[in-house]
């Protein structure tokens, strides 16, 4: 985007589903450099069970005790059986779960536009109930983790950093965030997902680059999970925190707003038309006929949520590539195999609603003829606009899709696929 007042984040999923969500952001308030608040009061200790320690800036460690203070810049860690609840000056709560470690990086609660609360969660989980800073200055009320930044809007939520050595089964290393009340946004460099009450968002640890389980750029971008992971277990003081959260919600009710409607799509070929007018397989090698046949099969399958047909249009050895533009206007490109598309497609297609797609242009040309082939490869390029709801959130994006099609056993399959965000 061209103006500093708009921040755009992007999500890709399945084969060519690049979701762009642009959120308006007001001009940033005065920024405080990390470390500027070090040594200032952050919170008082409200509850403690087991062993929880604070390490000050000189490296001296002390056990937390009820009524004691915690300062900005101190590293707080709990043992495997330790828990504590801290109460911040703005009326917020920070519940420290067992085996957790975090640092309050910035904090000021002076009733000014520069008020802030920034926490760096290193490992484990916290439960955070935001105070009035979140309502006065939500831009500067966030949680930083090794793989994401969590922004909030008046919230009771539970961020969780799952370390690689603890990741197992269906749960990958990275940042999880479970929302109890209000809402959060889980942001990575290039992607964002909004999390509503009762949902959990996930952002993968970028250091575990070999664990590819999602297609295209969704490997690196956040997503919503289908269910709450079983490693989320209530804490010793949750009953008290539940009552506190409920009281805050009664004092500061927030009316839910329906998602905004997407703007009408411009003129072009709508994917809905593909369902009713899917052509027969072309009898010759005319590039335009091949492109029309293959794209309409793909678009029709997307409209029907037909995962089997979508995957059958791609060769087993297909290489897929996605290029997305990040916040700093640089680009990031990743390549993935067909197998890495499968899990993403199965997961993402169920979250897709009110899907509309319009191809503004389609170009096709003949390429080289493979050994033993009858028809040459066909190079297809299409400018596409997609919009709808993903996980209940509206999205709209433009991209250029490119496919290399090859005829095998009488069927046209994509042996290469690429999508580039415009």
- Whole-angstrom distance, CA of residue 43 vs CA of residue 235: 19
CA quadruple 340, 342, 345, 350: dihedral positive or negative? negative
Q: For the segment 28-85, what is each residue's pLDDT rounded down to a tens digit?
A: 333 445 578 899 999 999 999 999 999 999 999 999 999 999 999 999 999 999 999 9
Q: For the segment 163-179, what is each residue's pLDDT rounded down to a tens digit?
A: 888 887 778 899 999 99
DSSP state of 315: E
Q: For the segment 223-245, what is each residue's pLDDT rounded down to a tens digit?
A: 889 899 989 999 999 999 999 99
> Which domains, ranges and CATH numbers included, belong to the chain?
31-251 (2.60.120.1440), 269-421 (3.10.450.50)
Predicted TM-score of the model (pTM): 0.57
Q: How confident is the model at residue 149 (pLDDT cuts 50, 70, 90)?
A: very high
Output the CA torsion 69→70→72→74 (10° steps): 140
Q: How confident is the model at residue 3 (pLDDT cuts 50, 70, 90)?
A: very low
Instruction: Report the pLDDT value the prediction gives residue 377, as an integer from 0 to 100.
Output: 94
Q: Which of 347, 356, 357 is nearest to 391 (CA)?
A: 347
Q: Which of 88, 39, 77 is nearest to 55 (CA)?
A: 77
Q: For the segment 90-136, what is each residue's pLDDT rounded down to a tens digit?
A: 999 999 999 999 999 999 998 788 899 999 999 999 999 999 898 88
Q: From the CB of residue 316, how many other CB atoms can be counted at a distance below 10 Å?
A: 10
For the ranges 72-81, 139-148, 195-204, 260-269, which has the lowest average pLDDT? 260-269
Instruction: Report the pLDDT value the prediction gives residue 34, as an integer from 0 to 100.
Output: 58
Q: How confident is the model at residue 399 (pLDDT cuts 50, 70, 90)?
A: confident
pLDDT > 70: percent of the chain: 76
Across the chain, what does the average pLDDT equal? Answer: 79
């Amino acid at each position: 985007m061209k103006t500093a007042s708009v921040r755009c984040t992007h999500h890709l999923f399945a084969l060519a589903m690049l979701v762009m969500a642009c959120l308006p952001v007001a001009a940033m308030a005065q920024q405080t450099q990390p470390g500027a608040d070090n040594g200032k009061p952050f919170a008082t200790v409200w509850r403690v069970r087991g062993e929880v320690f604070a390490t000050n800036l000189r490296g001296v460690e002390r056990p937390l005790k009820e009524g004691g203070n915690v300062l900005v810049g101190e590293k707080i860690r709990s043992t495997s059986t330790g828990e504590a609840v801290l109460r911040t000056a703005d009326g917020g709560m920070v519940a420290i779960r067992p085996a957790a470690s975090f640092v309050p990086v910035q904090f000021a609660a002076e009733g000014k536009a520069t008020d802030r609360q920034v926490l760096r969660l290193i490992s484990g989980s916290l439960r955070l109930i935001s105070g009035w800073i979140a309502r006065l200055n939500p831009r500067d009320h966030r949680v930083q983790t090794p793989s994401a930044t969590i922004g909030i809007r008046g919230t009771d939520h539970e961020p969780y950093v799952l370390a690689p050595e603890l990741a197992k089964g269906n749960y990958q290393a990275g940042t999880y965030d479970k929302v109890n009340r209000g809402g959060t946004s889980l942001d990575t460099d290039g992607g964002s997902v909004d999390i509503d009450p009762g949902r959990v968002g996930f952002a993968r640890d970028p250091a575990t680059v070999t664990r590819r389980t999602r297609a295209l750029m969704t490997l690196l971008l956040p997503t919503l999970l289908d269910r709450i992971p079983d490693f989320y277990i209530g804490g010793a003081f949750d009953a008290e925190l539940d009552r506190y959260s409920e009281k805050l919600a009664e004092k500061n009710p927030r009316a839910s707003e329906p998602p905004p409607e997407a703007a009408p799509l411009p003129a072009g070929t709508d994917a809905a038309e593909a369902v009713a007018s899917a052509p027969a397989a072309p009898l010759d090698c005319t590039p335009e006929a091949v492109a029309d046949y293959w794209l309409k099969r793909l678009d029709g399958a997307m409209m029907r949520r037909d995962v089997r047909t979508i995957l059958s249009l791609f060769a087993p050895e297909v290489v897929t590539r996605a290029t997305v533009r990040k916040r700093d206007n640089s680009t990031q490109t990743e390549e993935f195999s067909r197998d890495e598309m499968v899990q993403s497609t199965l997961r993402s297609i169920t979250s897709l609603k009110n899907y509309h797609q319009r191809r503004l242009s389609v170009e096709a040309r003949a390429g080289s003829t493979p050994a033993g082939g009858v028809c040459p490869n066909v190079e297809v390029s299409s400018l596409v606009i997609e919009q709808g709801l993903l996980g209940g959130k509206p999205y709209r994006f433009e991209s250029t899709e490119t496919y290399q099609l090859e005829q095998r056993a009488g069927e046209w399959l994509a042996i290469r696929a690429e999508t580039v965000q415009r």
